[in-house]
């Protein structure tokens, strides 16, 4: 049947500080608002300690493909403001490590790396991995591309608010069919 493991490394570059990137990506409550193409619903199950270690979050997510995933994660390590580690449970298992670093050549920008090493647990994903690995991989790449686009928009919104501007910032990309018909939360 083949191995149902995946390893993705995503690299983003955004105009921001690592502190602000940490604040946005570390706020699980905000994911469905600013990254709605992927995060359909987010619930905090347990807040964790003062740094967020032990935080438990339940998620309902999707990518470009018309299937959804129900999963949870626990924050197992925090190095504020340079990153954090999560351990997923549910439709897949493994670990995700977010790291944030100011660009040494251009300090207006933050380099973001997401190292996502998972194994499919959901029966459909597990069974079909040997056949559709490239499609599942493309689905993940699509989701991360939408995440980078959505993060840039969220950072623009925050900068405009800090500067007292009521700039018209585009809405983040919406979920793909069929969820774009039902999950129409307005920012």
pLDDT digits (tens, 9 = 90+) for 140-185: 999 999 999 999 999 999 999 888 886 788 899 888 866 554 544 4
pLDDT digits (tens, 9 = 90+) for 15-51: 999 999 999 999 999 999 999 999 999 999 999 999 9
Q: Is the pLDDT of residue 67 over 50?
A: yes
Q: Which CATH architecture fits 5-181?
A: 2-Layer Sandwich (3.30)
How far lies 41's CA from each of 7, 49, 164, 176, in Å? 24, 23, 30, 15
Q: Is 137 helix (H, G, I), strand (E, B) or coil?
A: helix
Q: Is the pLDDT of residue 1 over 90?
A: no
Q: Is the pLDDT of residue 186 over 50?
A: no
What share of the chain has pLDDT > 90, as a percent? Answer: 70
Q: What pLDDT does 124 receive? A: 77
Tell me the average pLDDT across 85-109. 95
Q: pTM of the predicted model, to two decimals?
A: 0.89
* Cα distance between residue 6 and residue 119, in whole Å: 6
Query: Tokens 């585009």 correspond to what residue?
Result: 170
How far lies 18's CA from each of 99, 141, 143, in Å? 9, 23, 22
- Listed by start position, the domains of the chain span 5-181
């Amino acid at each position: 049947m083949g191995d149902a493991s995946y390893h993705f490394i995503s690299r983003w570059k955004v105009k921001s500080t690592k502190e602000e990137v940490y604040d946005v990506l570390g706020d699980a409550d905000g994911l469905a608002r600013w990254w709605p193409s992927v995060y359909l619903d987010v619930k905090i199950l347990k807040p964790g300690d003062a740094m967020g270690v032990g935080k438990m979050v339940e998620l309902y997510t999707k990518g470009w493909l018309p299937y959804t995933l129900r999963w949870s994660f626990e924050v197992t390590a925090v190095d504020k403001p340079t990153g954090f580690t999560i351990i997923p449970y549910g439709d897949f298992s493994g670990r995700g490590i977010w790291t944030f670093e100011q660009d040494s050549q251009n300090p207006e920008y933050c380099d973001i790396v997401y190292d996502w090493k998972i194994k499919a647990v959901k029966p459909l994903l597990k069974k079909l991995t040997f056949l559709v690995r490239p499609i599942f991989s493309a689905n993940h790449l699509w989701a991360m591309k939408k995440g980078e686009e959505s993060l840039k928009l969220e950072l623009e919104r925050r900068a405009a608010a800090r500067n007292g501007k009521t700039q018209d910032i585009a809405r983040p990309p919406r979920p793909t069919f069929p969820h774009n018909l039902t999950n129409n939360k307005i920012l």
